[in-house]
Structures are given as C-alpha cells and as structure tokens.
Amino acid sequence: MVAMTKLKISLTQTIPAHSRLSATVIGVEGKAKSLKLSKNNVDERLLSLFNLDSLGVSAEVGAVKKLAGPSSSLITLVGLGKDTELDSIRQAMGSVARELGNVEHVIIDLPFKSKQELLAAIEGFHLGNYDYLAYKPKADKRKLSKLTVITELKTTALELTELEILTSAVHRTRDLVNAPANDLYPEVMVLAAKKLAKTLPIKIKVWEEKELISEGLGGIHAVGKGSNRPPRLVKMEYKPTGAKRSIALVGKGITFDTGGLSIKPAESMVGMKYDMTGAASCLQAVIAIAELKLPIKVTAWLCLAENMPSGTATRPNDVIKIRNGKTVEVLNTDAEGRLVLADGLSMASEENPDYLVDVATLTGAATIALGNRYAGLMGDDLAITKVQEAAKTTGELVWHMPLPEELRPLLNSDIADIANVKIGNRAGGMLIGGLFLREFVGIEGRTKPAWAHLDIAGPANNDSSAYGHTPKGATGATVRTLVQLARDLSS
C-alpha cells in the first residue's frame, strides 16, 4: 500500500540536460530584500533574468517557487532558511518532493558542505515523496522516478539503502494510520505485522480474546470487549546474536475510539482512526531495526482494541485488573489508551528490558500544552536524555514534561488501587496520563527499566496544510526517533 515511488538516485558533478521531464532545484538564501540564489551550476544568463522579489520568492525553509526553464523544463527555487541546519535541509527537500510529484526527474543543485548535509537532503526528499491514494483510484499517481544530485561528495550504497529502509518505515506507518477503521482493525493490524515480519528474524506471538482473559490482560480486554472486532496483544521480538542491550517499545493501538460509553461528541470522533498511531509506529520501527540489522534486542508490544459502545462495553465505575495485579476503577471509558498500555507496560516489564518506551496518542491535553508539532516526553532522566538525543539527530520535536508528585493523589480511588482519571479535573491532563502509566513500569523487587513515555497526540496527524516533508494526514512521527534510539543504544 506504500504510496512512495521507487527512486533511482545518482550523484554527479555534471548537470544533466534540461528536458520537459525534468526540474532543477536551486536554493534561495538571505532576507526579504537581499535574496540570492545559492551556488549552482545552471547557466548564469538564464538565472539573471529572474527578479526574485517580483516573483514572490522566499528564503523561508521549504518555500517553493516553480518557474519555466529551458527546453520546457522547470527551474524550482526552494528556501533554505537563515542557517543551514540538517533538519532545515530535510524540510526543504521534503517540500520539493511534495511539489514535484508530477515530474519524472528531479535534479538537486545545492552546495552541500558535508556528507551529512547530502544524506539529510536525500532523506528529506524520500520523506516528502508520498501520497496516500488507496481510495482515489482515478487520482494522478506520482511520476517521480529519478533523483540526481549535483555534488562532488560521495555516498555508499549501504548509506542510501539505510535511508530507504528508514523512510519506507515512515511511509508504511502513514499508510496504516491513514487507512479507515472499517478496513483496519485489530485483526488486520495482526496480519500486517505477520506479513512484514515474514522474511525477517522477528518472532511474533498473538494473544487473542480468550488468552487476554486467561493471562490477566484486563486492560486490553476491557477496552475492546464492546466491539464485535475483538482486541489483540501482539509481541514482536527481534533478538540478534550478540545483542548486549535491550529495549521494549509499547504502542497504543486503538483502531477507532468512540470514547466507549463515555462517548465523544460527533466532531471529536472524526480523526479517531489515528488512535492506533503508537502501535503502528512501534511496529514499523522494529521492522526497520531488523532490516538495518542493528545489534540490539528490540521487542514491540502492540496493544490493539476498538473502543466501541455496546451492551458488552465497559461501564464507568467498573473495576478491572491489569496484568501486574493492580486494580483500576474506570471512571471514564474515553481514557482507554492508558488501560491498554498498562497491560503492555506490565508485559514488557516482565522481560526486564534495559529501556522501555511507550508511544501513544494519549491525551488531547498534549495538544493544548504543546501544539500540533511537539510530542510530550515524560519518564526517567536516563531514558529522557536518550530519547532527546535521538530526536535531535532526526530533527523530530519532543519536549520534556514533568511528572509532578502532587498530581498523583488525583488518581486515588475509593475502591481500587487507582482510577484512570479524576472526573472534573482539567489541569495537567497529559501529566496525569504519564503518572498513571508509571504505575505499571517495572516489577516489584527487580531493577526497573529506564522508561520514557511519548504522547504524540499532536504530531501524529496533520489536519492542516502539508509542510516540509510532512504530508496532510498521518505523519509517521517518532518512527525515525525510535530507530535512532535503538541505533544509539546499540553502538
């Protein structure tokens, strides 16, 4: 289903001939009244005809202006921003790829100063080369098939292959998340995981409804029992020979969230197919890690359920028991993500990983606090630092948020070990979600894994206009950071 076109990539020092099938990309630098084109190999006589100000050209990162070039080709000017940072390059090249999908051959003519800049450009271009057209059979498909970069720098075939593996994982995540809930539900996610892992050294175990009950996975069962499409827990394990470190990834996989009996308003239900982004991200991350053959044990736990209202659904005030034995009073069935993650975190903790990271579109409060581009990051100092370092490398945005102890009493229950929410409290919702999850990290009497919680409710879905290498709709956020984290821990 991946909508990314296969690219033939070549590096050369000689600019190819212009043709009606090609577009040549040149950078724009500077400020509003002092714009200039970055160093390039295009005929200066042609470029001297362009009045950048009157054409409305901008140096803002990713701003694209397409102009007529020789032999019916395109000259494409793209803003590079004030500082040439790696992520600025990724974003600029992502914009170019989005805008030039109908061109067969794109020629990038930018003055890259290092191999890192060159690889960032190719990565950003791959990320932007995406459309989701599964339900638009008559739509124009991308023609883009060839990318030529004018440079003296060299890359290896392995480096280009690794970029393709990484960006393909992001695209597959977008495909899963964009799919409507009538076609993607827990059983379909299981089939997708099995298909992707079939040719890789990944073991898969699936807990179906009866096993969820018999093995004490009360959170996942409680959330999913209102649907006629039963819940699942999936374990994907990649364990290469000689791996010295281990990381567990736990993903929230609510394939559609109505809120259950605490039903959402109609307008809030639109977009709830995205509530399985955490599980999709963890699934694709472990696939990419295995394809990259990173020397680290990685286990992904996909906590899959459809949260529906029915005569069999969990009710407010019901008490359920999580895998680690703690009881939870469910006061709001729309705070369901933390219930399925509680089981996933408990199961992951039983295997004593060195690091434990959960990923979830957990709270609307995350978008209120951080907007739509930053993921909230909570947890232990060690894991927080590692995730921040990985995110800095990939250019993905995370923000460290606290877990204030004074908020923990808000989750006290009169009849159970803990409640899943504090009814009527609107303060610190993202933080309270993190505090709830912390209760299910580690096993009493054992050393706890270094834990981080990523609330990706904001960046998982872009319901505004596309920008940089981010399309409208599912974004694939955090997949690259999870893979980079595994790479960092394995080195």
- Whether the CB-CB separation of 310 and 333 falls below 8 Å is answered with no
d(CA 442, CA 357): 12
Distances (CA, A) of 250 to 302, 310, 338, 414: 6, 27, 11, 29
Q: How does DSSP assign 192-259, residue by residue?
A: HHHHHHTTTTEEEEEE-HHHHHHTT-HHHHHHHTTSSS--EEEEEEE--TT---EEEEEEEEEEEE--
Q: Which residues pair with 418 in a beta bridge?
A: 328
Write out the two tokens for 132: 């989701």
Cα separation, 111 vs 28, in Å, equals 11
Catalytic residue among 90, 172, 338, 480: 338
- Specify whether 373 is catalytic: no
Taking alpha carbons only, the member of 405, 414, 416, 415 closest to residue 438 is 405
- Amino acid at residue number 237: E
Instruction: Read off the amino acid at residue 74.
Output: L
The DSSP string of 329-390 is EES-TT--HHHHHHHHHHHHHTT--SEEEEEE---THHHHHHTTTPEEEEE-HHHHHHHHHH
Place of tokens 């190819």: 16
Cβ–Cβ under 8 Å, residues 276 and 234: no
Catalytic annotation, pick one of 65, 239, 264, 392: 264
Distance CA 489, CA 301 (A): 19
Q: Are 242 and 231 in contact (CB under 8 A)?
A: no
d(CA 270, CA 120): 35
- Burial of 302 from C-beta contacts in 10 A (0-12 / 13-18 / 19+): buried
User: For this structure, is 45 an active site residue?
Assistant: no
Tokens 């909230």 sit on residue: 376
Distance CA(136)–CA(118), nearest Å, equals 34
Q: Are 254 and 302 in contact (CB under 8 A)?
A: no
φ, ψ dihedrals at 290, nearest 5°: -70, -40
Catalytic residues: 264, 338
